Structure 1
């Protein structure tokens, strides 16, 4: 009998040969430090005896173990329930959801907001529901944006990373082509999509010049603020820091990073939100966000807006960047994400291993996640790291860098 199944052993062997095989390494708690277990496959994990400092998490404000956020989640579980129980359109819509969406809309300067089960679901569902004819996408956009374009079956035009001039040229080319084919602008819908902070490079999109280009050609702009929400002006993102709320039609973000919870959101006009709650499949056909997650995100957003956590984060970012650069490391980015670029894949893995041996967690990022020749260590401090923790991280980089021959 013919075997029409899948050769999984060969796939795994290929991943291992290319240094791409990953494994789960459980930790006892989500915070700035913790006890990790060695990868154990399907067996029960055994925690290491040494506590490690975590410089690899998206828990930027360190709020996952904040008592205020935990209390909010407990109260929601006790009062509303542990799960929504159904789609929001059936019986899964609660006052906790509505409170979170109200605060998100207020923070993002929009009429309304809508929460999704994940940031991935928010991007895929929104792009697919809008059904744009053409999407102009930054070449380093998140996979959920790319998958959203595919699901929408849109013509996707990729422009150079964070390059508004490249975007302008692509818009001009598309306009000329449409004119030559006798198509009027009113016949097509154009959407420009970009991350605001890029998760692997730490770069920040030039949103103002992107808006200039969009307005010249009548396109809409959608900005993914996953790695910016909660960290900038009044707990907002780059859109708020640059005062562009009135020029960007769709603001998307996550609740699972700085806001220490789970889920994603889209903020915009009332008409946009009404369309999404009717047409976005990832919203319509998913159980609503768990009430404890919604309450935790709402309280975390309050803390981000009114506490000093943001200031502490940026102090740690500056200290860490200065220390790494003074050693001679090349550090990219303009945000809280600090990619220490090594170049060679093997050197990056060895550097990460050396850092881990010194009880600091900062893993190597290598192709195909990043382009060949740009392997790196993605270093991210948290607001809850103390100055001594930053010094320990820097000392681990120095010792491991000398050991590998990079310093």
Structure 2
């Protein structure tokens, strides 16, 4: 028999979310997550995947993943610190460090795990963290877990960051102070002012941490936002995922050797969670090899991104100020945004609505993610549907 209090809490709050248009129905993809997906037997142009370069379905990655299963099995068998560290993990970490331009790297089970692990592994209750107000939920949770004082600064506002850094330093309350930011902000697609952040960090001796989940594989010829600005030797911790542009699963932190050695003995997800599977590790290494060999996939992604952005803008949609392939169509009110997304689905385009609390109230948007795997024909079809639904809702 379940708790009456629990059932009351769940029923009341689920109903409240549904009434406000904040409840998210989870769809099931039948088959691979490519540029076209199938849901409930219906084929749709997929504009909601983080699979920026189309690598999630790449035959070359599939091949090495199958080989790794044959040679190393389906699981690592243990946590990294016992005997779950396979030669494949060491190869991946060496490759990541080379890719990111750092001395060393450590891999984790997910990008979310990275932020939980690395922030709390370095910062504690005697420290402070300056955090951009639009940072990802995993950064927020990692900061909370560290028990450090969290000081939010206005989004990409260097004047506010400098003022708050100065105040924190001059207070004399903290042993260490970190400034942390997304490299690319996932809801609006804008890029952090890393040169400005590094300048302030050097002025006040701040630890610098960049979450490059949406920048890795996208900016800096694939190496990310830090490489894009040429700041590899100025950023202390570069965090990234292996599940978006890389196309597989996992995350990593890249930095100097001492940092990585410390995280291997002090970051809890590394110490207490079984290592990433051999197939996934081998596929990640192959993906990074491909990105280091050629920029063809990035070039195609950027070409498709520009094509979709130009098309939506020409139709009259508000697509914000994205500097990356992330392309929001800002609708506004939550229920309207969800209804707009539903109509896109009915017309053959899968582009999910993003509403509060993921974005501020009244800024609901349908977020589009053009990839290297889309064809011009797919994008033209999507634009035609957007035009039809936009006129239907009197948005354009």
TM-score, scaled to structure 2: 0.95
Separation of aligned partners in 2, 1:34 and 1:3: 41
Aligned to 1:205: 192
Separation of aligned partners in 1, 2:221 and 2:309: 24
Q: Does 1:391 align with 2:380?
A: yes
1:306 Cα deviation after fit: 2.3
1:13 Cα deviation after fit: 1.1
Aligned to 1:244: 231
Separation of aligned partners in 2, 1:203 and 1:166: 18
1:405 Cα deviation after fit: 1.1
**CA 5–386 in structure 1, closer or farther in 2 if over 3 Å, else same:** closer
Separation of aligned partners in 1, 2:171 and 2:220: 40
Instruction: Report the number of matched residues.
Output: 389
Aligned to 1:45: none
Match of 2:49 among 54, 57, 63: 57
1:175 Cα deviation after fit: 2.4
Separation of aligned partners in 2, 1:396 and 1:163: 37
SS at match of 2:244: coil
* CA-to-aligned-CA distance 1:206-235 (integer Å, 9 cap, x gap): 001100001100001000010111122342
Contact 2:72 2:278 in 1 (8 A): yes
Structure 1: gaps of 5 or more residues: 38-47
Aligned to 1:376: 365
Q: Does 1:33 align with 2:36?
A: yes
Aligned to 2:175: 188
Match of 2:88 among 87, 93, 96: 96
Aligned to 2:22: 20
Match of 1:69 among 61, 72, 82: 61
SS at match of 2:383: helix
Aligned to 2:109: 117
Separation of aligned partners in 1, 2:25 and 2:256: 42
Separation of aligned partners in 2, 1:324 and 1:4: 48
Superposition map of 1:327-346 within 5 A: 327-332=315-320, 333-346=322-335
1:3 Cα deviation after fit: 5.0
1:162 Cα deviation after fit: 1.4
TM-score, scaled to structure 1: 0.93
1:241 Cα deviation after fit: 1.0
Separation of aligned partners in 2, 1:272 and 1:297: 22
Separation of aligned partners in 1, 2:289 and 2:218: 12
Q: Does 1:127 align with 2:115?
A: no
**CA 388–20 in structure 1, closer or farther in 2 if over 3 Å, else same:** same
Aligned to 1:292: 279
Q: Does 1:269 align with 2:263?
A: no
7-16 or 281-290, which moves further after superposition? 7-16
Structure 2: gaps of 5 or more residues: none
* CA-to-aligned-CA distance 1:82-101 (integer Å, 9 cap, x gap): 11110011111011111111
Aligned to 2:220: 233
Contact 1:72 1:299 in 2 (8 A): yes
333-342 or 232-241, which moves further after superposition? 232-241
Contact 2:20 2:335 in 1 (8 A): no
Aligned to 1:143: 137
Separation of aligned partners in 1, 2:354 and 2:13: 20
1:341 Cα deviation after fit: 1.1
